[in-house]
Amino acid sequence: MTTTTNAYDMSGDARGIRPAPAFPGIAARAADTDATGRIPAENWKELIDSGYLRLFHPPEIGGTGADGLTQADAMEALARACPGTYWAATVSALLCAKLISTYGDLRSHEPLLRSLLSGERLAAFAVVERTAGSDAGTYRTTVRHAGPAGDGFVINGEKSRITNAPIADVAVVLARRERIAGDDGPDWCLAFVDLHQPGVERYEIPHMGLRGMPWGGIVFTDARIAEADVVPVPFGELAEGMAWGWLKNSFAAIAVAESALAASVRHARERVSFGRPLAHMEGVQAQLAESRAQIDAARLLARRAMCERFAGRSARDLIAMLKIYATEMGVEVAARAVQIHGATGVTQGHEVERLYRDAQMNVIGGFTSNRLREQVAEGIGLGPAVYSAFDWVTPAGLGQDPAGLDGPYTAGAVS
């Protein structure tokens, strides 16, 4: 196993408070990044110089071969510095690059991978659509043959609410695959689409949290795709690759919560009310202690999941549980921070106000908690979370008028 020196060590001090992030320039610009809704060029340079974009991959494709714990520390460190920058960078360098390296052909796609890891290009993972979120069965974006075999493909459809969509160079698109006669392959594919070509239009979407993160939609109208860049994949296998995105959200949530706790501890020490610091009030102490316990529990689960993934094991169910717990925990901790800060915590431009907005995005992004709960339940033997119509009224004898009148009961028939 290849390892690297951990320059992103996030171990806490004797008081259990984690140190300042390992990306000081990005952290110093975080408030402006949020206010302007743009990631400054200096952030991308700092990311490239730090080697962050290369951490998640082996040296043979331009990575550093960092071990799982180093990757975990680096993800949390960057998300502590600026969650919006973290999302944009990690969607491209981790999620999209892992999907390409896992399902693509390295002989064809190594140049694309190297360009993402070097920061030369930025990728977007285009999954959800304007009228469809977690329910892939309603997706309509389709890839079809452009002509005779060897002529490549074209893609049509719209993907919306996509990280990096407004500025990305390439999109990894989950799409339906139009099959020709004799093709009994999967109905779904991943398409690696060049976004700098005719037939591609992009737009931005204003958003509540992670404002620095580019977010928007992509409209494809007969955009061209090379033959090698359409990869048929059974839909059931895609959850393994997309679990990297669940990990990404989880580390972002832990980082947001850690920042919110640190801000709360500082405020509790400095703010004097009713003749004593907030830190001396039992109610505030209980809130801070609860946050500390929750964050550390989520971090332990996240590091375990990362080590399982690094060892080549699936850990999909573990990561699903992590995503549920960590992201909802992040919202709870941020909400406590707002309460401890009082009116200051809801003042526009304050760190805690920004963290509270950012925390909400981690819960929704990637896959909603409710859908993940169904998958976890399925994994413990409750069967697939598939709806089928059934009649529970008639077998129970509840279909008749409760007043004893003849005929089936009709709502409103009895006064």
CATH number at residue 172: 2.40.110.10
The pTM is what?
0.86
What is the spatial distance between Cα 264 and Cα 270, in angstroms, rounded to a whole number?
10
What is the spatial distance between Cα 270 and Cα 287, in angstroms, rounded to a whole number?
17
Q: Are residues 252 and 359 in the same domain?
A: yes
**328 found inside a domain:** yes
Q: Of 89, 121, 153, which marks where a domain is finished?
A: 121
Q: Are residues 326 and 282 in the same domain?
A: yes
Q: Are residues 251 and 365 in the same domain?
A: yes
Q: What is the mean pLDDT of residues 236-265?
A: 92
**141 found inside a domain:** yes
Mean of per-residue pLDDT scores for the chain: 88
Q: Are residues 134 and 205 in the same domain?
A: yes
CATH number at residue 54: 1.10.540.10
Half-sphere exposure of 305 (CA within 13 A, CB side): 28
**19 found inside a domain:** no
Q: Of 201, 233, 265, which marks where a domain is finished?
A: 233
Q: Which of 142-146, 332-336, 386-390 has the lowest mean pLDDT?
A: 386-390
What is the spatial distance between Cα 118 and Cα 138, in angstroms, rounded to a whole number?
35
**How many domains does the chain contain in total?**
3
The per-residue b/e assignment along 223-256, b for 16 or more CB within 10 angstroms, e otherwise, is bbbeeebbbebeeeebebbbbbbbbbbbbbbbbb
**38 found inside a domain:** yes
Q: Containing H/E element for 27?
A: helix 24-28
Q: Are residues 244 and 378 in the same domain?
A: yes
Q: List the domain range (segments joined by +) for residue 268.
A: 236-382
Give the CA distances from residue 383 to residues 100, 117, 136, 174, in Å, rounded to whole numbers and listed in that order. Answer: 31, 40, 19, 26
Residue 10 scores a pLDDT above 70: no
**Strand pairing of 153-163 and 215-225?**
antiparallel
Q: Are residues 373 and 282 in the same domain?
A: yes
Q: Are residues 243 and 332 in the same domain?
A: yes
pLDDT tier, 4 (very low <50, low <70, confident <90, very high otherwise): very low
- Model pLDDT for residues 380-409, shown as the tens digit of each residue: 877 776 667 777 777 776 765 555 555 554
Q: What is the mean pLDDT of residues 47-69?
A: 95
Q: Are residues 113 and 155 in the same domain?
A: no
**395 found inside a domain:** no
**Residue whose C-alpha is closest to residue 165's, from 111, 129, 112:** 129
Terminal Cα distance for the chain, rounded = 76
Q: Of 90, 106, 121, which marks where a domain is finished?
A: 121
- Model pLDDT for residues 62-80, shown as the tens digit of each residue: 999 999 999 999 999 999 9
